Amino acid sequence: MTTTTPPRPELRDFYENPAVPVASGTPRTLRQARLLAAALGAPTPAGRTRTIVDIGCGDGTAAATTAPFVPGHRIIGVDWSQDALKRARTRVPYTLRGELNCLPLRDGSADAVLFSEVIEHLVDPDAALDEIRRVLRPGGHLMLSTPNLAAWYNRALLLAGVQPVFSEVSLRAIHGRPGREVVGHLRLYTARALREYVTAAGFEVVRLKGAPFHGVPRPLRPLDRLACSRAPLASILLLHARRT
């Protein structure tokens, strides 16, 4: 996903490049949507419409995939990239342009925040979580997903002296690791680090689950799906936390 943190000039150019991927795989998105639906529960006729904010919404794929799972609730897509928002508007009824250190939302105005494959792109994730906590109401839900530095294949790659998948040493080309796309990852987390980090930022972790990665070679995908049963080994980390 594209970042909404105000990047340095060279990062601005990178994230405004239409060739940079701004959507994640469907399995992760579907699992995250189900987690959110379970957290929010079904809307009641007398209940109020809840506001879900997809921060770093990219092309709107995650928000559009989530919408059928949370009928009756409003989803707002927020991103810094004008190019991404142009594409998101074809999928999401409400979009806002905003930077993550100053979201265009009132204090406590969101019931849930989707933060899908964004945190690994950020120069200052601390400020991002502070701002997310500000816009969430007390008890509001944070649905965060990010690649797992300690995914099962990364452990093997490191033993072989190979740069882990998801990690990048340059914004210009791939060096020393499998893969073909440069996507701008600046930070990576293990399951333990992510849990501790989000807790320290003022959230209570409800659950941490795994999801498969669409870039895993086809012959290895059954093993990747099997690894999802243990979050510390999974390709993608799916975290549900509540604002304290």
Q: Select from 69, 70, 66 the least CA-distant residue to 23.
A: 66
What pTM was estimated for this model as a whole? Answer: 0.89
Helix, coil or strand: residue 138: strand
Could you read off the pLDDT of 5-24 as tens digits, one per residue?
555 556 666 666 666 655 56
Mean pLDDT over 62-82 rounds to 93
- Map residue 177 onto helix, strand or coil: coil
Tokens of 137: 């109401």
As a whole number of angstroms, the distance between CA 116 and CA 21 comes to 13
Question: Can you tell me the mean pLDDT for 172-179?
Answer: 93
